């Protein structure tokens, strides 16, 4: 079975390489290290959130609120740094706490009030975004101390910091899902909720956990994006949930639950990112870009359904 998983991921990898090869041939600027690093940087914000989304989708849930959580975390950090002159570390931690709390609320709505994940997180999508606007009055917030912006804009060995964050978080998420008891239980809950419960899995606890993780990681993305841009905005991350979900699903996470890997999700995020990057380089208008991305998402999810249909 492992073999098939690998084959599945190799399939995604091949699509990615073909896409990159095509762009390398048709555009002059694609295969430059500068462009590739820019693409990677753009991918990292999506990918980090997609790790959490992957866990949520493995439990057969969905989290539509990650983009809004990114926004509100960004605003919280920006306000604390700029308006309240809070020290950097507590400010960042507050932003992450905000993200995690939003995730916890999702988890409680889904487990205790028994709301469908789609509905609960759609509500939180609106609430989070609304609160971000309330807190800022809609104005962008800047500037920040350099120590803060350096985290987002700095590089190590020529690699932008957010990319490094993505790599480290990917490794942690991968190990968590694959080698820990909690990770295994996440798959169990998505694979068969009743069987998991009868095997002593605290299903509610696991569900709350994955939504909290998704919120936390959206918070990290919010923090990194704010530091990178040097500005906190209420509309940060708007619409990102679609890219995030698409990244997970293109990467082979099954919407029916029980299946998905971090490696696949990284590849999925890369396909989304490279596609956007390539469309820009090819001079495709931003309107058509949206159409193209939409087509890719539909294609990927249709593919998931087909696979699901074959699975009894």
Partner 1 sequence: MSDTVLEVKNIWKEFPGVIALKGINETFLKGEVHAIVGENGAGKSTLIKIISGVFSPNKGDIFLKGKKVRFGSPIDAKSHGIVTIFQELSVLPNLSVAENIFIGQEKTNLGFLSYGDLYKRTKEILEQLEIADISPSTITGTLSVAYQQLIEIGRAVATKADVIIMDEPTSSLTENEVKTLFKIIGKLKDNGVTVIYISHKLDEIFQIADRVTIMRDGEKVGIYNIDEVVEDRIIELMVGRKLENYYIKDSKPRNEVILQVKGFNGEKFRNVSFDLRKGEILGFSGLVGAGRTELMMSLFGFLPYDKGEIYLKGKKINIKSPLDAINYNIGLVPEDRKLQGLILIMTVRENITLPGLDRIKIAGFIKLAEEYRIAKQKVEELSIKTPSIEQKALNLSGGNQQKVVLAKWLNLRPEILILDEPTRGIDVGAKAEIYKLMNEMAKEGISIIMVSSELPEILAMSDRVAVMAEGELTAVLERDEVSEEKIMHYATPRSVLSKAS
Binding segment for partner 1 (CB under 8 A), chosen from 143-151, 156-164, 177-185, 268-276, is 177-185
CA distance 157 to 137: 39
Choice between 28 and 184, CB closer to partner 1: 184
Instruction: From 227, 215, 257, select the one nearest 125 (Cα to Cα).
Output: 215
Q: Give the Cα separation of 259 and 307 in Å (integer).
A: 11
Please give the structure tokens belonging to residue 173.
């998420």
Report if residue 255 touches partner 1, rule: CB under 8 A: no
Show the tokens assigned to 263: 């490696």
Residue of 2, 85, 114, 158 interacting with partner 1 (CB under 8 A): 2
Q: HSE (CB half, 13 Å, CA atoms) of 123?
A: 12
Q: Which of residues 185-204 bind partner 1 (CB under 8 A)?
A: 185, 187-188, 191-192, 194-202
209 contributes a contact to partner 1 by CB under 8 A = no
Is the Cβ of residue 12 or residue 177 nearer to partner 1 in the bound state?
177
Task: Decide: is 45 part of the binding site for partner 1 (CB under 8 A).
Answer: no
Q: Which of 126, 180, 285, 290 binds partner 1 (CB under 8 A)?
A: 180
Contact status: 112 vs partner 1 (CB under 8 A)? no
3-class DSSP assignment, residue 234: coil
Any idea what the Cα angle at residue 271 is, between residues 267 and 273, rounded to 5°? 110
Least separation, in Å, of the C-beta of 15 and partner 1? Answer: 24
Minimum separation from the CB atom of position 302 to partner 1 (A): 20
Cis amide linkage into residue 143, ω under 30° from 0: yes
What minimum distance in Å lies between the beta carbon of 191 and partner 1? 4
Q: Using CB under 8 A as the criterion, what x/- string covers residues 123-162 for binding partner 1?
A: ----------------------------------------
Q: How many CA atoms lie within 13 A of 58 on its CB side?
A: 29
- Does 82 interact with partner 1 (rule: CB under 8 A)? no
Q: Which of 95, 67, 56, 22 is nearest to 265 (CA)?
A: 56
Residue whose token pair is 């190799």: 10
User: Is position 9 an interface residue for partner 1 (rule: CB under 8 A)?
Assistant: no
For partner 1, the closer of residues 28 and 178 by Cβ is 178
Task: Note whether 101 and 215 are within 8 A (CB).
Answer: yes
Angle at 243 between CA 167 and CA 65, to 5 degrees: 95
Among 53, 63, 259, 304, the residue binding partner 1 under the rule CB under 8 A is 259
Q: Applying CB under 8 A, which residues contact partner 1?
A: 1-2, 179-182, 184-185, 187-188, 191-192, 194-202, 258-259, 311-312
């Amino acid at each position: 079975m492992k073999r098939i998983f690998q084959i599945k991921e190799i399939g995604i990898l091949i699509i990615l390489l073909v896409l990159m090869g095509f762009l390398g041939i048709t555009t002059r600027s694609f295969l430059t290290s500068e462009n590739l690093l820019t693409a990677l940087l753009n991918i990292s914000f999506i990918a980090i959130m997609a790790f959490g989304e992957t866990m949520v989708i493995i439990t057969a849930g969905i989290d539509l609120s990650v983009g809004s959580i990114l926004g509100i975390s960004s605003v919280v950090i920006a306000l604390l740094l700029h308006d309240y002159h809070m020290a950097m570390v507590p400010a960042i931690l507050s932003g992450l706490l905000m993200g995690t709390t939003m995730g916890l609320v999702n988890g409680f709505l889904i487990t205790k009030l028994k709301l469908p994940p789609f509905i609960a997180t759609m509500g939180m999508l609106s609430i989070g975004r609304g609160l971000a606007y309330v807190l800022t009055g809609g104005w962008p917030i800047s500037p920040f101390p350099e120590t803060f912006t350096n985290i987002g804009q700095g590089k190590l060995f020529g690699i932008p910091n957010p990319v490094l964050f993505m790599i480290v978080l990917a490794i942690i998420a991968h190990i968590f899902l694959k080698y820990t008891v909690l990770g295994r239980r996440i798959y169990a809950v998505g694979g068969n909720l009743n069987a998991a419960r009868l095997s002593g899995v605290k299903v509610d606890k696991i569900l709350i956990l994955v939504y909290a993780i998704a919120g936390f990681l959206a918070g990290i993305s919010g923090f990194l994006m704010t530091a990178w841009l040097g500005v906190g905005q209420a509309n940060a991350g708007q619409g990102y949930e679609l890219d995030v979900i698409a990244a997970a699903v293109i990467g082979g996470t099954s919407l029916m639950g029980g299946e998905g890997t971090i490696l696949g999700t990284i590849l999925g995020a890369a396909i989304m990112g490279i596609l956007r990057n390539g469309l820009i380089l090819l001079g495709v208008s931003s309107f058509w870009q949206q159409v193209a991305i939409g087509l890719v998402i539909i294609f990927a999810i249709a593919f998931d359904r087909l696979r699901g249909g074959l699975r009894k």
